Copies of this chain bind each other. A is one copy, B any other.
Amino acid sequence: MQNFDYMTPTRLIFGKDAIKKLPEVMANFGKKVLLTYGGGSIKKIGLYDKVKELLSDKEIIELPGIQPNPKYDPSVLDGVRLCKEHDIDVILAVGGGSVLDCSKAIAAGAEYDGDPWDLISYKVKAQAALPIVDILTLAATGSEYDCGGVISRTETNDKIGYMDEHLYPAVSLLDPTYTFTVSKKQTAAGCADAMNHIMEQYFCEDTTLLNDGFCEAGLKSLMVNARKCLDDPEDYTARAEMMFACTLGCNGIYALGNSPSGWPCHGIEHALSAYYDITHGEGLAIITPRWMKHILSEKTVDRFVKYGVNVFGIDSSLDRFEIAEKAIQATYDFFGSIGIPMHLKDVGIDESRIGEMAHHIAVNEGLENAYAPLTESDIADILTASL
């Protein structure tokens, strides 16, 4: 078991009608609020009007239009400019992980005098950030309970995971009913995203019985509940459990004390999203089983055996490699069964830029230090196998 230093100061207000606590929560901050959101789904479900009604005593400046794979330019830059112009006290992010990730970069940039990219690229360490409150509308990224975000810079094909301890949301309001209208595509992608967050922590050198049990419980819970959400989008219990299993995804609690894995599937997928702007969870679902197959070896096989037996109930008396192969196939089959397109070509990616992407990943993601080290050639092989 590895040493760790852990604290999550975020308050989670979870459940139906959590929004009733919004006025009480926002009373802890100043009068000027930057309200950030995405493409307008929060207007369709009435959440936008509800927020405005509950915060009628506040001065609200809006930053709408934050896209999936949120962009440095214009969203982060616009947000930082608005915060500075209006002397904003607190950011209220209403939406999914992209809105929240973008809001985190804005929160840090607003308290920094230079170019916000200095912070995101780790050239300069943030000294402060505006407080963030969020109202979550998508179960997926876990950004509501971690201190990180992923920001894309289109002109350089960069998609950078940016973490700083100032960026934990102060409060996350998690009402599962706001996810009732999430499409089948996004429900499935959210499930795959959260499952991969857990796998990135599970597949490592040094784990514990406790952490393995936590991760296996998370994976099984996500698979069962995602299916229920797809069958009946208004199944409150399934939406609730899926939301919470996702919330813990990147917070560390699934695997405190595990050795680092290098998060290889995320490293690879970030390039896919940066080059082709695909849905993150779909990219992960496509990459994951090919990555598994590529790294299966005498060194890793026992992890796959544990995964196969405990998560998929594969017969433990079979040959180790047979169990592992079955587990990888079961992973592939599950993602396919919830409607995820399982080939890169299905999401508009062909072989033309694989070499370029593999090089970009090898240079930027440090995967030579991953649980199963990956060279540029390994990465290209995984991408090719994913076509």
Contacts and interface: CB of A to CB of B under 8 A. Distances in A.
A178 to B, nearest CB: 14
A15 B10 contact: no
Interface string A4-31: 1111111111111110010000000000
Given A4-B15, A240-B257, A217 B213 contact: yes
A218 interface: yes
Contacts of A212: 217
Contact of A12 (B7, B15, B217, B237): B7
Contact of A218 (B15, B16, B210, B224): B210
Interface in A163-222: 176, 208-210, 212-214, 216-218, 220-221
Most buried by B among A6, A176, A209: A209
B7 A3 contact: no
A13 B9 contact: no
A217 B221 contact: no
A217 to B, nearest CB: 2
Nearest to A17: B3
B2 A11 contact: no
B209 A213 contact: no
A1 B369 CA distance: 40
A241 B208 contact: yes
A61 B83 CA distance: 47
B10 A7 contact: yes
